[in-house]
Amino acid sequence: MEIDLPDVLAEVTAQFARYEKALVSNDVAVLDELFRNDPRTLRYGIGENLYGYEAIMAFRAARSPVGLMRRTDKTVITTYGRDTAVASTLFYRDGAPGRVGRQMQTWVRFPEGWKIVAAHVSIIDEPKQTDQKT
């Protein structure tokens, strides 16, 4: 299996950037488009566990558009072959000093394009050292 093929990495990086722009601008239509429309798609959020595309859509539709701006850091996107990728990033919000968010997404290429099939978002107190290697 080839890891980080340049063309595939560029495709997923572009979709990740599209997701980030849609997230901070509350473009619900794009966010809905980027998640796989499937009952097996899941998103573990900060305060919710969402099973299935319908639950994810309902969450997005009901969420307040206030306070969505954030700054990302240490984004790592890794592709596996031509059809699978994992995107991980840290994020910071001005309204949450001393806290760091963590986001991971599993992306899969389908005939209709790249889709998120699983996502996890959490927020923790910022560790004293954030670049520890395991």
In the chain, DSSP finds a helix count (H) and a strand count (E) of: 3, 6
pLDDT digits (tens, 9 = 90+) for 56-103: 999 999 998 888 999 999 999 999 999 999 999 999 999 899 999 999
Give residue 131's pLDDT: 58
pTM given for the model: 0.92
Give residue 133's pLDDT: 56
| Alpha helix ranges (H) inside the chain | 6-24, 28-34, 53-62
pLDDT at 132 over 80: no
Structural domains present in the chain = 6-123 (3.10.450.50)
Please state, in angstroms and rounded to a whole number, the distance separating the CA atoms of residues 89 and 75.
4
Give residue 27's pLDDT: 96
Give residue 59's pLDDT: 96
pLDDT digits (tens, 9 = 90+) for 5-34: 999 999 999 999 999 999 999 999 999 999
Q: How confident is the model at residue 129 (pLDDT cuts 50, 70, 90)?
A: confident
